[in-house]
Amino acid sequence: MTHGNAPAAVPRSTLVVTAHAGDFVWRAGGAIALAASRGQKVTIACLTFGERGESARAWREGRKLAEIKALRREEAEKAAAALGAEIRFFDAGDYPLTETPELTDRLVEVYRATQPDVVLTHPVEDPYNGDHPAANRMALQARILAQAIGYPGEGEIIGAPPVFYFEPHQPEMSGFRPEVLLDITEVWETKREAMECLAAQQHLWDYYTDLAVRRGVQLKRNAGPNLGLAHRTMAEAYMRPYPQIAKELA
Amino acid sequence: MTHGNAPAAVPRSTLVVTAHAGDFVWRAGGAIALAASRGQKVTIACLTFGERGESARAWREGRKLAEIKALRREEAEKAAAALGAEIRFFDAGDYPLTETPELTDRLVEVYRATQPDVVLTHPVEDPYNGDHPAANRMALQARILAQAIGYPGEGEIIGAPPVFYFEPHQPEMSGFRPEVLLDITEVWETKREAMECLAAQQHLWDYYTDLAVRRGVQLKRNAGPNLGLAHRTMAEAYMRPYPQIAKELA
Amino acid sequence: MTHGNAPAAVPRSTLVVTAHAGDFVWRAGGAIALAASRGQKVTIACLTFGERGESARAWREGRKLAEIKALRREEAEKAAAALGAEIRFFDAGDYPLTETPELTDRLVEVYRATQPDVVLTHPVEDPYNGDHPAANRMALQARILAQAIGYPGEGEIIGAPPVFYFEPHQPEMSGFRPEVLLDITEVWETKREAMECLAAQQHLWDYYTDLAVRRGVQLKRNAGPNLGLAHRTMAEAYMRPYPQIAKELA
Amino acid sequence: MTHGNAPAAVPRSTLVVTAHAGDFVWRAGGAIALAASRGQKVTIACLTFGERGESARAWREGRKLAEIKALRREEAEKAAAALGAEIRFFDAGDYPLTETPELTDRLVEVYRATQPDVVLTHPVEDPYNGDHPAANRMALQARILAQAIGYPGEGEIIGAPPVFYFEPHQPEMSGFRPEVLLDITEVWETKREAMECLAAQQHLWDYYTDLAVRRGVQLKRNAGPNLGLAHRTMAEAYMRPYPQIAKELA
Amino acid sequence: MTHGNAPAAVPRSTLVVTAHAGDFVWRAGGAIALAASRGQKVTIACLTFGERGESARAWREGRKLAEIKALRREEAEKAAAALGAEIRFFDAGDYPLTETPELTDRLVEVYRATQPDVVLTHPVEDPYNGDHPAANRMALQARILAQAIGYPGEGEIIGAPPVFYFEPHQPEMSGFRPEVLLDITEVWETKREAMECLAAQQHLWDYYTDLAVRRGVQLKRNAGPNLGLAHRTMAEAYMRPYPQIAKELA
Amino acid sequence: MTHGNAPAAVPRSTLVVTAHAGDFVWRAGGAIALAASRGQKVTIACLTFGERGESARAWREGRKLAEIKALRREEAEKAAAALGAEIRFFDAGDYPLTETPELTDRLVEVYRATQPDVVLTHPVEDPYNGDHPAANRMALQARILAQAIGYPGEGEIIGAPPVFYFEPHQPEMSGFRPEVLLDITEVWETKREAMECLAAQQHLWDYYTDLAVRRGVQLKRNAGPNLGLAHRTMAEAYMRPYPQIAKELA
């Protein structure tokens, strides 16, 4: 195992760790599309298909577990492709998603294999869904373990990539305070397209379009009138649990 | 009064609002020197000379108020010059620094005159010095008033420049959590030189050198091993009360 | 002065204390309409017209202060009428709204005159607008003073009416966490009509319609599937700084 | 499995999830008696007998584990009967009470079988007793799992019943802030009778009587002088982690 | 003005800054009696008589302002004498107690005259009484000003005496968390005697006796079984906003 | 098993629970040396050698796991001896240190065997190292279990010894606020000597010397000018999660 000093020519790498198959689309689709559109590599580590907790319609239609998992997988693959990202399924079982050393270890492998420059995951709290905090804890734990040369496994150790928490469904109830507002206007159409790959959750398409508009309004209010922003700026909100490293205050 | 749309050729402008004559050196000297070294304009609005609360030695030596103010002014002017910044004295009286509509209004004028792209000031809490929170409140209030076309006065309205809180003397007691770590290695000598202009507080020169080393270690720990940072990175810590506007997550 | 024991036949009374002319519409229009629709009395204490801080368009059109105040007053009167409430203007001057004992005393008078069963006002924090926290502090202070038989003035002392904070424009940045979700579906049309009285802020009509939809979705998620709620439930969110008094847990 | 739409004639159902045999009496006896007195169904899910951590006297008297469990069970059954509730023992072992998927699953069953309209449990923190937070986490987790049609098991899925946290022994040390003050005056004698069923903890009878008086004083202070409350109002305090759904602000 | 280095023979000095005439008895009577019983000097700076906000009964009996102030003054003098403390009245006017530079300056004088080793005052928050936080802010501000050799006035500057916040009437609603539990068993009778000097508030005698019992129970629980404490330990709770200086961890 | 009433002649006992081999030196070396220098007994429960997560240099030099563990053990034994403490190794495996009932049970044994008067451990949060919070949770849990006469095992039950959290590497990022500043000036040389036993981490010797200076400056600032403190006071900072029991406010 050698030190993870990547030569400059390697494209930037983003790792997204999510609990369920749809999460990356609603919460981080803009960030993913933005990175991909700049030639960067984006890998989605999808811990479960959301087969039990987030597929109510399919269960009501009488479908079976295997069928539901296949359905969610297919939708997620389409959405990831639309955004320009690679997706890996862990099939760890949802509702509840249980933290285990084995699952964390598999995440360490992904960290070392992808050498992320940026990590996106769920925030710490979610009083409506315990799988999201579980994914958060494993994503953070694996990131730390992957940094340690003494932790066994394939691949090079990683650096200390910045972490961003994407927005939960009920932000105020989950202690979510926007610390970064990301302008996703230029990839908005791509995000919308990816959302429309999730046919079973059609009621969320407009919901998350409205959210992007609202975060865009907030972005403009915080950016001041000087920035020459689009009339209808679309945005996503993030928290950053670790300090930003800066060469300039801006 | 017209809208504050500055043409691109205007250099970036930084406004620093501080309670006492020495604050800008210890807490934000690196950020100031960095901006100045890049040809940007930095204006320091210095509300008081710290004549009563931060000049214990001079009082013990039996000096008079006017003498002490002149002394602190001279030191602060030298330090500002060393950093490459312009300094304006408000002589509002310290210990206590009292919030008034008039003083806030004078700050609005400075905001509109300098059209800052970035604002630096004290954080919200300081259980050891009530002047610092008072300066914070007036700096924030004036920034909001300066944005309103309906607020009377000379000059153009301003945008919504990001605000950074610099580090107080006892960070953990003041609710200070580093949210931005600014690399000031390249201007470290300049900051040290400015500190040495403050002859009366020689015991703080090494204290704040040590702090810069410690923040530098923290910066490296958060940046990971990949960044090719200097062996001895020097840094300053800041909080940001408003969300960061981003074109990319990094 | 005698004790404020109101006979049962007196209709319930709601007091709304707001900083600017439009606030009561966007933030509490549903609660006001709901109370009024049940024959209750609603009084809006409107501290300023929002003439400086919330009338940017009028200033850009070159209007004068008196004109702007008249305009805002007219709009607010129409909106209040649409909702079924009485509005009282304090004309205390905005941007900044300054806390004074005199203004607080005028609020004490209103409390004693209206004998509110419920009080609505702004929450404690708003990093984008200092007038809102100032209104909050005076509303709370006056409520306490109005309870004291020793505080001089006309009218009977009041009881301890529950207080509700309505939702600020940027809830997550203002420490706002929905503690009460009020179903306003049955008066939604009335709220929309009141919003449309505020001609100068047309861009907010849809913004606050979207917010009501989103709060409605949240209401349904917290109410469970059993309640027989309307397909499109509209809601407003509130915080309650004092404990709820209950005869039953529900 | 079908959707949990209960017809109106079914009496309201309350589910109480507690760590130890005595908890439901001291902390929620009033709420339980109140519900039962109105013909509602109350089910207590009692995870352990408190045989190791809360039976010091019995251990000092030299009793054996089985004996202590039988003793605590008997006392708890009597107290539950006095309050008008049904009690189910899980015998999961205390000190420590360990979170497991199996125990959580048994709770899911109870949720689905009892279809609660209200849930009572311990708050999130207790630095003096780790079993209480463990019970809280399982109670919340099971409530969410029981809502999911995809989570396997007998019975209908449940809605989203409101959750109330009852008061811990050292409220200020456990982050407990009274958010609901429940008037239990009319069932006070019943609560006292239930407390007296817990013979081994006689020193707590007066302690919790005093607490009820103190919460009653607080209730009156927050209710104002207008409510015609009893001279000696008795009360219990609760927190509510999820927003209240309201048809009216009061 | 010279430096405040007190010779060892000077007895320790305690300064208590309170808003209203009764506060020092209910909230800190034990600490005062304890210090006095050890030959220490205790000075109570009583900012108002509580004539408007805390004398409801006298107002209802139709008494006049001057009469009420005289009554409260007499009671407070008796209670202070019972505890063994000196009391100074500022007669600054309550409900509201207004922060002014003049009143703060008078407090600076008291700090310098009494050279306190310990300071007791109200905590930062109290949603039921705005005078308490106002007293807190002035007590803290004056303490800082009194330390500065540059702040004008009679007397020697003071050191940095530790500050303790005493318990408010509704601790959980005021962010009060017991950080110090003071054993007042040996002076309990003295505190009770002082409470009984406050004839107009007889309903509080038992209330604060119960509180002392409860805090005593908490003290014993936190002290462990090893300390040989009295069967009925009485205690008062305090917060400490500044770090404790220790020669040993205990 | 009998009650833990220690006769007065038994020397005071301190228990330190740490995650990795070096932690007790950097973070609590002063407190340990101080206790030992007064003839008290200090026991360090060292859960892991830090073999994977805190031995990067050894791994880079190509050493094997067993070798690294032996190396860290030897260093830690030397450092403990220098401080005058006994050290017990649990060899539980780090990175990650996993919470288990078995490990907690072994800690209960140590609590009962050592009958601590004071407990030192890691604070609750550390976003840079998950082993530290895991050690905290087990140390707190075991302390509670060891108090219960019903919890099985050898030895007498313990009382309720106060707990102190020592300072983490990045205090502001870990919610660490100094609540106790311990003067370690008189044992500073001993702490430095112990630090120098940790040859592999030479870069930290000066880092933690600087920290002790900085905490000493803070101690002096909080102690005021009156205490006759050494010119160069050295200090360590601690938090205390449980209330201090006091016989006097000081």
Residue (of A129, A164, A174) closest to A32 by Cα position: A164
With contacts defined as CB-CB under 8 Å, which chain C residues touch A173? Answer: 177-178
Question: Which chains have at least 3 CB atom pairs separated by less than 8 Å from chain A?
Answer: B, C, D, F
Q: How many whole angstroms separate alpha carbon F94 and alpha carbon F99? A: 11
Q: What integer pLDDT is reported at residue A199 of this predicted model?
A: 87
Contact F241, F177 (CB under 8 A): no
Burial of B191 (0-12, 13-18, 19+ CB in 10 A): buried
Touching chains F and A? (3+ Cβ pairs < 8 A): yes
Q: What integer pLDDT is reported at residue F60 of this predicted model?
A: 94
Q: What integer pLDDT is reported at residue B8 of this predicted model?
A: 52
Point out the residues of chain B with pLDDT beneath 50: 1-7
pLDDT band at residue F10, thresholds of 50, 70 and 90?
confident
Q: What is the pLDDT of residues B142-161, one digit of tens each?
A: 999 999 999 999 999 999 99
The closest CB to that of D177, out of E128, E172, E210, belongs to E172
Q: What are the CA-CA distances from residue E221 to residues B31, D97, D208, F162 (Å)?
A: 51, 21, 16, 11
ipTM score of the complex?
0.93
Query: What kind and span of H or E run contains F42?
Result: strand F41-46
Q: What integer pLDDT is reported at residue F201 of this predicted model?
A: 84
pLDDT band at residue C10, thresholds of 50, 70 and 90?
confident
Question: Which chains have at least 3 CB atom pairs separated by less than 8 Å from chain C?
Answer: A, B, D, E
Q: What is the pLDDT of residues F118-129, one digit of tens each?
A: 999 999 999 999
pLDDT band at residue F9, thresholds of 50, 70 and 90?
low
Please say if the pLDDT value at position C2 is more than 70.
no
With contacts defined as CB-CB under 8 Å, which chain D residues touch C38? Answer: 248
Q: What is the pLDDT of residues D74-115, one digit of tens each?
A: 999 999 999 999 999 999 999 999 999 999 999 999 999 999
pLDDT band at residue A29, thresholds of 50, 70 and 90?
very high
What number is the average pLDDT over the span D30-47? 98
pLDDT band at residue E225, thresholds of 50, 70 and 90?
low
Chain A residue whose CA is closest to F133: A141
Please provide the average confidence, as pLDDT, over all residues in chain F: 93
Please provide the average confidence, as pLDDT, over all residues in chain C: 93
pLDDT band at residue D162, thresholds of 50, 70 and 90?
very high
Report the range of poorest mean pLDDT among A225-234, C234-243, E24-33, E208-217: A225-234
pLDDT band at residue F109, thresholds of 50, 70 and 90?
very high
Q: What is the pLDDT of residues F43-94, one digit of tens each?
A: 999 999 999 998 999 999 999 999 999 999 999 999 999 999 999 999 999 9
pLDDT band at residue D37, thresholds of 50, 70 and 90?
very high
With contacts defined as CB-CB under 8 Å, which chain A residues touch D140? Answer: 127, 130
Residue (of A134, A110, A119, A144) closest to F96 by Cα position: A144
Please say if the pLDDT value at position E152 is more than 80.
yes
What number is the average pLDDT over the span A58-75? 96
With contacts defined as CB-CB under 8 Å, which chain C residues touch D27? Answer: none
Give the best residue of F102, F149, F163, F165 to mutate against chain D (max D CB count within 10 A): F149
What number is the average pLDDT over the span F187-193? 98
Q: Would you say the C-alpha torsion B136, B138, B144, B147 has a positive or negative sign?
A: negative
Touching chains D and B? (3+ Cβ pairs < 8 A): no
DSSP per-residue codes, A216-243 = HHHHHHHH-GGG---TT--EEEEE-SSP
Q: Measured between alpha carbons, how far apart are the two ends of chain C, in Å?
A: 38
Q: Is the peptide bond before D96 cis (omega within 30 degrees of 0)?
A: yes
Please say if the pLDDT value at position D128 is more than 90.
yes
Q: What integer pLDDT is reported at residue D2 of this predicted model?
A: 35
Q: What is the pLDDT of residues C36-71, one digit of tens each?
A: 999 999 999 999 999 999 899 999 999 999 999 999
Please provide the average confidence, as pLDDT, over all residues in chain E: 93
Write down the H helix ranges in chain D. 23-37, 56-60, 65-83, 101-114, 131-147, 188-196, 203-223
Q: What are the CA-CA distances from residue E134 to residues A22, C137, E104, E117 (Å)?
A: 52, 13, 11, 22
Q: Would you say the C-alpha torsion D48, D54, D55, D59 has a positive or negative sign?
A: positive
What number is the average pLDDT over the span A176-203? 95
The closest CB to that of F150, out of D53, D127, D128, belongs to D53
Chain E residue whose CA is closest to C145: E95
What number is the average pLDDT over the span A42-71? 96
Residues whose CB is less than 8 angstroms from the CB of residue C146 and which lie 6 or more positions away in sequence, other chains included: C108, C111, C112, C157, C158
pLDDT band at residue A6, thresholds of 50, 70 and 90?
very low
Q: Is B56 on the interface with E (CB under 8 A)?
A: yes
Q: What integer pLDDT is reported at residue A10 of this predicted model?
A: 85
Look at E243 and B173 and tell me if their CB atoms are within 8 Å: yes
pLDDT band at residue C202, thresholds of 50, 70 and 90?
confident
What number is the average pLDDT over the span D182-206? 94
Q: What is the pLDDT of residues F169-181, one digit of tens each?
A: 999 999 999 999 9
Look at D128 and F144 and tell me if their CB atoms are within 8 Å: yes
Contact D241, D163 (CB under 8 A): yes
Ramachandran region, residue D37 (left: φ > 0; alpha: ψ -120 to 50; beta: rest): alpha
With contacts defined as CB-CB under 8 Å, which chain E residues touch F159? Answer: 223-227
Please provide the average confidence, as pLDDT, over all residues in chain B: 93
Contact F164, F239 (CB under 8 A): yes
pTM for the structure as a whole: 0.95
Residues whose CB is less than 8 angstroms from the CB of residue F70 and which lie 6 or more positions away in sequence, other chains included: none
Q: What is the pLDDT of residues A111-130, one digit of tens each?
A: 999 999 999 999 999 999 99
Please say if the pLDDT value at position C135 is more than 50.
yes
Tell which D residues from 97 to 136 touch A, by Cβ distance under 8 Å. Answer: 101, 104
